[in-house]
A and B are shown apart, each in its own frame.
Chain A
Amino acid sequence: MSEPVPRVTLAQIFGAFALIGVTSFGGGIVAYLRHALVEQRRWLDEDEFMAALEISQTLPGLNSANMSVIVGRKLRGPLGAVVAVLGMVLPGAAIVMALGFAYVRFRHNPDVAIILSGVAAAAVGLLLQVTLKIGWKQLIKPRDLAFVVVVFLLVGVLHVSLVVTLACVAPLAIWLNRPCAAEGKRTR
C-alpha cells in the first residue's frame, strides 16, 4: 500500500500541532506527538517518526519545535514547517503569559509566594526525574559517566561557558565514538 500521502492542508497542520501544544503537560511531548501523528492521523509511519526524533535530539533547539519543523516540512514544505512550529509554540506561549500576569499580580501575597516555592521545588524534582529517565544508560557506562561528570562540573559548578565546553568536549566525545573505533570493539 504505497499510495501517496493525501495532501494535508496548512490549516490541518496548524490544528494538529496546536492541539498537541495545548494538551501536552509536563514535558512528555514526544509521547503526545507520536500518538497524534503516527496513530491518529497516520501522517508518518513508525520508522519515519523515529528518524525524525533522532534528528530532533541531535540538533540544538527544543525537541518539540524541531519535530514540528521536520514533520511540517515533510507534509507541506517550508510553509508547513512554519505553520507546525507556530501551532506547537503559540498556545503554550499564550497560557504562559497569562500565568505570568497572575504571578506578577499575586507574587507579594505570602500564600502565593509559598505555593510557588513548593511548585519550584517540585519542578526541580520533575527535571531530575526526566534527566534520570533519559540518561540512565549513560550513567551506568563508565566512559559516558566520565563525560557526564566533566560536563556537569564545567558548566554547572565552574560556570565555564557552554560554547567553550561544547567546543572542547563534543569533538572528543564524537571522536571516541567514531565509526571505525566502534567497529574494532565489535570484532574484538
Chain B
Amino acid sequence: MTKIVGLINVFALLSLLAVGGGTAVLPQMKHDTADLHHWVTDTQFAEIYSLGQLAPGPNMTCVILIGYEVSGWVGAVAVLFAFFFPSSLLCYVVSSAWDSARGSPWRDAIQRGMAPIVIGLMLAGVYAVGKTASFNLGRGWEFNAITLAIGGAVVAILTLTKLNPALAILAGGAAGFFLLP
C-alpha cells in the first residue's frame, strides 16, 4: 500500500513537472524511480524506455511498466492514472481560461521564455538515458563504440530521410544483434 502511495506521489509530481513533454522529466524520473526508491535498476529503466519507443501512442506510456514492476496491475493502473490525470486536469482548466486570455502578450513571453528551458531539459533526458544505453563505463570500449555509433546513425538517418522512427529503432535492435560482442 505504501508503495502504491509512493508511486502515485512520484508520478503525479512528474506529470505536473513535464513541461515540454515526457522527455523533460526523464532525468527526474530516473532519479526518483531508480536511484531514490530502487524500484528499477538503471539498465531496466533504459530498457523500459526503449520498449516505450517501440510501442505506438505516447512514448511515455511505458511508465506503467515501472508501476507493474513495483506492485503488479494495481501499480500499473495507479501510475497510468497518476501520470496522466493531474496534467490533463490542469490542461482542461487552463485551456478553458486561456481561451478568454487570447492575444495577451504574456502568452508569447511565457512561450519564448520556456522554449530554451524545455530544450535543456530534453537534452538532460538524452544524457540520463544515454549514460546507461550509449556510453556505459561498466562495459568494454568495443561495446560502447558500437552503441554510440548506432545512436549517431539514427540521428543522421532521421535527419536526412523521412524514415518511420519505429523502423530506425528496430534497425538498432538488428544492429545490436549482429554487431555487439
Interface residue ranges, A against B (CB under 8 Å): 20-29, 51-52, 54-66, 68-70, 73, 78, 81, 85, 88-89, 91-93, 95-97, 99-100, 103, 107, 111, 114-135, 137-139, 141, 144-152, 155-157, 159, 161-163, 166, 169-170, 173-179, 182
Beta-carbon contact of B151 and A125 below 8 Å: yes
Given A81-B88, A124-B126, verify A88-B172 contact (CB < 8 Å): no
Given A121-B172, A144-B115, verify A126-B165 contact (CB < 8 Å): yes
Beta-carbon contact of A95 and B114 below 8 Å: no
With a CB–CB cut-off of 8 A, which chain B residues contact A152? 120-121, 123-124, 127
Interface residue ranges, B against A (CB under 8 Å): 13, 15-23, 25, 27-28, 31, 46-62, 64-65, 68, 76, 80, 84, 86-88, 90-92, 94-96, 98, 102, 105-130, 132-134, 143, 146-148, 150-155, 158-159, 164-166, 168-177, 179-180
Beta-carbon contact of A25 and B166 below 8 Å: yes
With a CB–CB cut-off of 8 A, which chain A residues contact B31? 159
With a CB–CB cut-off of 8 A, which chain B residues contact A62? 18, 21-22, 58, 60, 84, 87
Beta-carbon contact of B53 and A166 below 8 Å: no
Given A23-B56, A89-B80, A95-B57, verify A120-B47 contact (CB < 8 Å): yes
With a CB–CB cut-off of 8 A, which chain A residues contact B158? 125-126, 129
Given A24-B56, A25-B165, A147-B117, verify A69-B47 contact (CB < 8 Å): no
Beta-carbon contact of B113 and A175 below 8 Å: yes
Shortest CB-to-CB span from A143 to chain B, Å, is 8
Shortest CB-to-CB span from A16 to chain B, Å, is 14
Shortest CB-to-CB span from B159 to chain A, Å, is 6
Interchain CB contact (< 8 A) of A149 among B22, B68, B120, B165:
B120
Interchain CB contact (< 8 A) of B109 among A95, A133, A151, A182:
A182
Interchain CB contact (< 8 A) of B25 among A23, A24, A103, A162:
A162
A-B pairs with beta carbons under 8 Å apart, 6 shown: A117-B143, A121-B150, A122-B171, A124-B130, A150-B120, A157-B124
A37 to B154, CA, bound (A): 30
Shortest CB-to-CB span from B78 to chain A, Å, is 13
A151 to B82, CA, bound (A): 26
With a CB–CB cut-off of 8 A, which chain A residues contact B166? 25-26
A91 to B176, CA, bound (A): 28
Of B28, B119, B148, B180, most A-chain CB atoms within 10 Å: B119
Of B31, B65, B88, B159, most A-chain CB atoms within 10 Å: B88
Residue ID in chain A nearest B52 by CB atoms: A96
With a CB–CB cut-off of 8 A, which chain A residues contact B86? 61
Of B25, B68, B94, B114, most A-chain CB atoms within 10 Å: B114
A127 to B23, CA, bound (A): 8
With a CB–CB cut-off of 8 A, which chain A residues contact B175? 118, 122
A124 to B148, CA, bound (A): 9
A159 to B125, CA, bound (A): 12
Beta-carbon contact of A21 and B169 below 8 Å: no
Interface contacts beyond A57-B118, A127-B23: sample of 17 additional A-B pairs, CB < 8 Å, sorted by A: A21-B58, A55-B91, A65-B87, A69-B92, A73-B96, A89-B84, A96-B65, A119-B172, A122-B172, A123-B50, A124-B126, A132-B159, A138-B119, A147-B116, A148-B123, A151-B117, A157-B127
Interchain CB contact (< 8 A) of B169 among A26, A57, A147, A150:
A26
